[in-house]
A and B are shown apart, each in its own frame.
Chain A
Amino acid sequence: MATTAADALESHDTHEHHGPEKGLKRWLFTTNHKDIGTLYLVFSLVMFFIGGSMALIIRSELMHPGLQFVHPEFFNSMTTMHALIMVFGAVMPAFVGLANWMIPMMIGAPDMALPRMNNWSFWILPVAFGILLSTLFMPGGAPASGWTMYPPLVLQTGDAFPFLIFSVHLMGLSSIMGAINIIVTVLNMRAPDMWLLKMPMFVWTWLITAYLLIAVMPVLAGAVTMLLTDQFFGTSFFLAAGGGDPVMFQHIFWFFGHPEVYIMILPAFGVVSEIIPTFSRKPLFGHDSMVYAASSIAFLSFIVWAHHMFTVGMPLSGQLFFMFATMLIAVPTGVKVFNWVATMWRGAMTFETPMLFSLAFVFLFTIGGFSGLMLAIAPADIQYHDSYFVVAHFHYVLVPGSIFAIFAAAYYWLPKWTGYMYNETAGKWHFWLSTIFVNLTFFPMHFLGLAGMPRRIPDYSTQFADFNFMASVGALGFGLSQLIFVYILLTAKRGEKATDRVWEAPRGLEWTVPSPAPYHTFTTPPKARIAQESFE
């Protein structure tokens, strides 16, 4: 039977007050939400660098026309592994890590509701990615079909195929367990006067994200299970020769894949909605409308999947439905951008590193949103499809979108985690170099795509050489800039002591506990409303 936080507290009360265990055992067996949050964040940083190294291999190969360093098959493996690692190993675990650290503190709970399951959710991940990375050394090489794993191409994977399927199942299991924990925690562990609509936006966006995860990760698991049975058990779900339908896989995959995009961006919206009010010294404009906008985005994400598949052929009515439904997402997204700008309007703004990353998020994510609108137009998409324009679009959403929000969150809450202020000068260098290089990397890809350069190719025509060179220089610069972040983390405890409130005008229960946050917080529920009012 699952162990709940109530059990943990009960056993906790019968012992003397204690801190963390010593050594490796602390990290292997921990059920503490802060420890598990740290594990997730460190894991995602490691994966960010592994996936980033793969991106640099891709960009090195594409720096000049012609084949330079790697075989085309290995190039395909790199694009596939880069995507899988960045999506499931870097971005998602980083947000789960932030959720683990912050949600219990933000809602006044002593821990996550199911602490042992929380430990399992994390420790499944290194196993999953160990398996996935081991495929690089297998006969036939690592998977090379793209992260979309379309059949029949994916069925040509060598020995790596069952390992790919198993690792995807494990990643899904970990995500579902994490999502269940977040929903159960938010619904059952809030401080008595923390009403749902009073919850911080980060908690709200994560609650909505968790529902999305529960609905769509099993769909991905189902799709890859069917791939597995097609390959090894003689079924023909997706094999045309046996009466199956390869396009059905695309429908199922994108039923998962599109909400997955929002799984990676909704928590980023939450982070930015916490940071902008703090550094504008104003409450968030339109808190409730932000909640409704996030919920609308989540709902719409379920009915737009086929905009990824306009070129497979579908009835005109289908094209029109998916085109207009996709465009509709711009409305709640616009509400969010409007509210962030309105929060800043006439605010006493200052520009510390978390705020800089959040501002860049608002500008650059919006660029990704606009190119998404262009791709939503069915007749235009037929031109853009599978071109570098698509690569530019989703990298604008995910790098200066999700990843910048993760950096913003790390800088924002780091003093609360460590008890010390980070190196602000180094933080600003990190921000400016990242912002310059991220644009140098991905903006030229728009032009490449519009000029007709296809994605997922190791060689290209010479007319694309200049923009590719710029993108490769930008990628190298962006990769090196991230070493500043590592330096900041390694020297995080060398700064001046952080106060409990850390910033001048933060809101929320997490700022009522000491810095660094004690190992156990809110063992008795706080008065959420009184704490909140004391800030205002």
Chain B
Amino acid sequence: MGATTRWKLILVIAVFAIGAYYLWPTYNYYFRMTPEQQLAAKDMRGKIIHLGLDLLGGMHVVLEADLTEVPKDQAADALDRVVEILRNRVDQFGVAEPVIQKQGADRIVVDLAGVQDEAAVRNLIGSTARLEFRIVVPPAVANNVVTRLDRELALRGAGIDSADMRPFSGKFGVFYNAQYGVPTGAFVRDSDVPAVTGLLAQAKEAGIQMPEAEPLWELEPRTIANTPGRILQFVNRNVELSGDLVTNAERRFDLDYERPNAAGVSMTFSNRGATRFAQVTKANVGNHLAIVLDGVVRSSPVIRERIPGGRASITGSFSDQEALVLATVLRAGALPVNVKIAEERTVGPSLGRDSVHSSLVAAAWAAVATTLFMIFWYKGSGVLAVVAMVLQIFLLLAGLAALRGTLTVPGIAGIILTIGMAVDANVLIYERIREEIRNHKTVRAAIDSGYKRAVITIVDSNLTTLIAALVLFQYGTGPIKGFAVTLSIGLFANMLTAVLFTRMVFDLITSRRRLETLSI
């Protein structure tokens, strides 16, 4: 064994020892621990390869904050506050290991693994949660507003026609009657809802003033006289009490006497809030109190007497999950600005499982096909190339663990591609050695010049691919980045295993004895 070979051997062993050191926690975590142990092993989180949302199942959401109404110097603050409140909400809702971070000037990225109910989560992070208590205006006032709306819109040639339900004379066409159990507001048939929504938007655009009341939809659908529809409430513009005076909120199942076991949300006010609530209820006995969340009326109970205890509750057609989300967002507080979901990528748990399974199966088949092919083609040297391939995958995963990378589906594709390139490197070298042997060189000389010449090509080709991978990493987003990371690590591993390692093995073999023929 020559001195250079010995140094190479030491280098290779050292590299693999370091690789094993980085890969050990990942192996331990995924193959030797029970799910309970995994949950408990919080200190290992920073040392293992994480699985991406596309493999685990989960949600990736990009929120865009509307900062147009915030002064420029306070915009960054507002965004920080949004992140903090979102983190509170997500933590309280109980999602493990959430990733919530700012991106650019007005965006927030939220990554949640293993989410079961995506609709609930969307409400959890997407709703502003601006809670307001407002008084519903008396029917006469609402009537005035509707009549005026009707007239103004008729003048502009707008309006809808619903002849069979027209208590008002104009074209506004809403049905409004206390005798059907609609004490306040206007009943709108389902078929008319889009048109009425359009009219309200038009009225707003046209600048029609409605200082005495604001029309807001009630959340819960109603059926009156066998006709499904919704209620349009007219509420006072004055906000009597808002969500920042709520100190606690919880989901409960005992709030509605008429519907036992129905989910609802019970709120507790701060001292100041309790005093204010008592005043408001005292002054408005007999009126309806609208509980408005993000511009939608959640319920509008009648105030029967002054309420001194500092508690209020929201009931209605909640699913258990919705009540939990609402309680959570009320507890964590309202967002200082509105946010909009600009991008959402959700992978259901079953697809995640399927992806893990199918990537593993595909990788196994690719490996088997390549192994058989290489051994069939290059015999003994083929076996060496396959060993190099296995070591390359080992190093790649170790590199991923060391960089705290995340394994995604495109990442696995990147791994498979670098395996292809590793095989290509060995094909290049072996074809060249064969050519040199055909030119009547000795085995030793053929190996020497085969490597010398092929390595130039391998470096050229790996470098150009690395350029592409680095550019992908720089400009790519989410899935593409995962691909670029494994591809880049794989290319480095490639140089170590397909070139350095195989060369060393050839050197070890030929240094012991003079070979007349080579199994290639």
The answer to whether A and B interact is no
